[in-house]
Amino acid sequence: MPRPPLLRTTPLGSARRRTILKAGGTLLLSVLGPLPAQAAQILAVRVWPADDYTRVTLENDGDLKATHFMVPNPPRLVVDIDGLALNDTLKGLVAKIESNDPYIKQVRVGQNRPNVVRLVFDLKEEVKPQVFTLPPVAGYHNRLIFDLYPLTPADPLAALIQQRDWTTGDAPPAPDALGTIARQDGGEAPAMPVPPMTQAPRPTLAPTPAPSAAPAGLPKVTRMVTIALDPGHGGEDPGATGGTGVHEKDIVLEIARRLKAKLEGMPNTRVLLTRDADYFVPLGTRVDKARKVQADLFVSIHADAFVERTARGSSVFVLSEKGATSSAARWLANDQNKADLIGGVNLANHDRQLASVLLDLSTTAQISDSLKLGKAVLSEIGGINKLHRGIVEQAGFAVLKAPDIPSILVETAFISNPEEEARLKDDGYKDQLADAITKGIRRYFAANPPMAKSRMA
């Protein structure tokens, strides 16, 4: 009996089947059209209002592209974001705008056209917007940032002068700390003796007549003392986080506020906070603010974490030009110097030249005076908490690079240590820290009275 013919399994048959399948697939695609790209999703929205500027952050799961333009009368900022679908998280931006925001009145959000979302910021005044993106870092996904700056930037010196509450007049002179400085209210007071110059030179005033009780042969100066306090981190940069969820940025701001009040209780002393609320300030801007007010001292306040939860104790750091004094100091400096990456700096407008100049101008005299200040403060802090090491350490902290201002960074305690985290959350301990730093500053000025400089107010 003859066999039935076999099915063709030759290469010719395979090629024919592939041709038929390809033709069918092409027909299907021509009917359905190209598959649309998946739109990015907004994961979180955050708003950080401040006098310096207001920041709006859209955290998303993709790389967004945005265009923006300003509309006058009334002032508005219009932003179109490509490749984005409107979702409930983005709609929630409307409720995030607070009535006391210095620059934003309200925001409107809508789907302008397919895959394009439009944001309209109704403004309280004209602004200079910066719109930029940030890549994923430190637990954040991609971020689209809107920074709304005033047309005329805030002047930290003008803000200090406007306060006019630098001394209450109730605090008696403290000869063991600041000497006797002329009162701001114009009353007669002896001038402060000025020792031989050890810092970078500054413009000097004509010497005033010396009182009979003062050491002979030294010029006298009457002026305000200005101290810059720098609460670390802020805004998009929470700093270290303790086991109970408390953020370093919140703890150090509370300590700085307490310290500011105590320092302003000293005669003829005024204090600048590099940030007075929860917003991010780039490292170079912190230094620049201190220099604009010709600060006599710069004190940066932190409560850092370490890889080992057992690490504990307070520390004081100053700048080093020759490397860190310990591996832990190097680790902490590297960690703190990441603040601009985490907090978010617009690289297109970042003043890299300024950062380079500050590094180049850091002088031996500044570091020498910083060490004196650091030793005085560390000695006082040692009376309320265990010291991580019994010496002032040195490392390349970017925030300490003002070339003409004695600068220290105080690690109040390790927030990663459960016991020290509990102390940092305690109001009594925060007050003790502020007292200790104040006493250290008074001790420093007793041995190193501030030098003459041009009167600013």
Question: Using alpha carbons only, what angle is made at residue 66 by residues 60 and 69, rounded to the nearest 5 degrees?
Answer: 140
pLDDT of residue 178: 41
Q: With cut-offs at 50, 70 and 90, classify the pLDDT of residue 202.
A: very low
326 against 177, higher pLDDT? 326
Encode pLDDT of 242-269 as tens digits. Answer: 999 999 999 999 999 999 999 999 988 9
- SS3 per residue for 73-120: CCCEEEEEEECECCCHHHHCHHHHCCCCCCCEEEEEEEEEECCEEEEE
Listing from the earlier edge strand, what are the strands of the sheet with 127-134? 42-48, 54-60, 142-150, 127-134
* pLDDT of the residue at 453: 57
Which tokens go with 75? Answer: 């002032």
- The predicted pLDDT at position 13 comes to 53
User: Could you tell me the fold of the domain covering 42-150?
Assistant: Immunoglobulin-like (2.60.40)
Q: What is the structure's pLDDT at 205?
A: 34
Tell me what percent of the residues of the chain surpass a pLDDT of 90: 56
Q: How far is CA 222 from CA 26, 181, 204, in A?
A: 87, 6, 11
pLDDT at 201 over 50: no
pLDDT band at 165 (very low <50, low <70, confident <90, very high): low
Residues 116-122 have a mean pLDDT of 97
Domain with CATH 2.60.40.3500 in the chain: 42-150
How confident is the model at residue 174, as a pLDDT? Answer: 38
Section 209-238 average pLDDT? 71
How far is it, in rounded angstroms, from Cα 399 to Cα 286? 7
Does the pLDDT value for residue 277 go beyond 80?
yes
Number of CB atoms found within 10 A of residue 331's CB: 15
As a whole number of angstroms, the distance between CA 116 and CA 68 comes to: 13
Q: Give ranges for CATH 3.40.630.40 in the chain.
A: 220-447
User: 450 pLDDT exceeds 90?
Assistant: no
- In this prediction, residue 200 carries a pLDDT of 39
Single out the residue of 11, 12, 13, 15 nearest to residue 23, CA to CA: 15
- Confidence band, pLDDT 50/70/90 cuts, at residue 452: low
Q: State percent of the chain over pLDDT 70.
A: 73
Point out the least confidently predicted range of 70-74, 392-396, 449-453. 449-453
Question: What is the average pLDDT across 38-65?
Answer: 93
Tell me the C-alpha to C-alpha distance, in Å, between residue 10 and each of 13, 15, 48, 305. Answer: 5, 9, 70, 70
Q: 336-380, pLDDT tens digit by residue? A: 888 888 998 887 776 554 444 454 455 678 899 999 999 999 999
Letter for the amino acid at 382? Answer: G
Tell the CATH topology of 220-447: Aminopeptidase (3.40.630)
